[in-house]
């Protein structure tokens, strides 16, 4: 059987509004991010999911709760965290964004690489497949785990994943479908 995955990104944060790339800095949702997460509830069929997994960072947990709480069990999993930008956590996006493609295999100073994120996601998906085969799963997390899913499940290269990322193409949608066979 397969697992149907729908990936949701957390709502806008106070860092996003200041053009700060949070990384593992635990940024809060902004008022807009709270409203986005509440509005998402009416844009999707919340009750169609068997379980929701989310990153342990506040912005993802808050988004997951605002959208899914009291409807679907929420499981917090630190493997869904954003890439650790190390010395670049909570730094201006104008500095961090250009470094991300360079950090595919080379770690950020005192942080992670995108390949490290991919390894976390491979482990997460293997564990999920053992327990949730045939289920419909929601994930609420960040940019790096979503790009890693594009690499793992859609066979994209990292360069393709970065170039086609909805944040670049400006094509947000209320959830991105993936399938784990």
State residue 127's pLDDT score.
96
Residues of the chain whose pLDDT is less than 70?
none
Q: What pLDDT, on a 0 to 100 scale, did the predictor assign at position 1?
A: 83
How confident is the model at residue 40, as a pLDDT? 97
CATH of the domain at 101: 3.40.50.1240
- Give the domain extent around 38: 3-180
Biggest alpha carbon–alpha carbon distance for the chain? 44
Q: Tell me the C-alpha to C-alpha distance, in Å, between residue 117 and each of 33, 77, 120, 122, 126.
A: 24, 13, 5, 9, 14
The alpha carbon of residue 156 and the mean position of all alpha carbons in its chain are separated, in whole angstroms, by: 17
Strand 3-9 to strand 136-141: parallel, antiparallel, or no bridges (unpaired)? parallel
Question: How many domains, in total, are found in the chain?
Answer: 1
| pLDDT at position 34 | 98
């Amino acid at each position: 059987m397969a697992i149907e995955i729908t990936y949701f990104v957390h709502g806008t944060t106070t860092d996003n509004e200041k053009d700060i790339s949070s990384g593992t800095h635990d940024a809060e949702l902004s008022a807009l991010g709270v409203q986005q997460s509440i509005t998402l509830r009416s844009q999707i069929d919340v009750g169609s999911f068997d379980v929701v997994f989310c990153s342990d960072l506040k912005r993802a947990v808050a988004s997951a709760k605002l959208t899914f709480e009291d409807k679907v069990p929420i499981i917090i999993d630190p493997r869904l965290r954003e890439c650790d930008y190390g010395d670049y956590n909570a730094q201006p996006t104008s500095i961090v964004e250009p470094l991300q493609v360079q950090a595919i295999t080379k770690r950020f100073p005192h942080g992670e690489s995108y390949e490290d994120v991919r390894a976390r996601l491979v482990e997460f998906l293997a564990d999920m497949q053992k327990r949730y085969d045939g289920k419909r799963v929601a994930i609420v997390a960040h940019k790096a785990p979503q790009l890693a899913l594009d690499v793992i499940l859609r066979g994209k290269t990292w360069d393709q994943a970065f170039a086609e990322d909805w944040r670049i193409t400006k094509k947000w949608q209320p959830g991105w479908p993936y399938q784990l066979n």
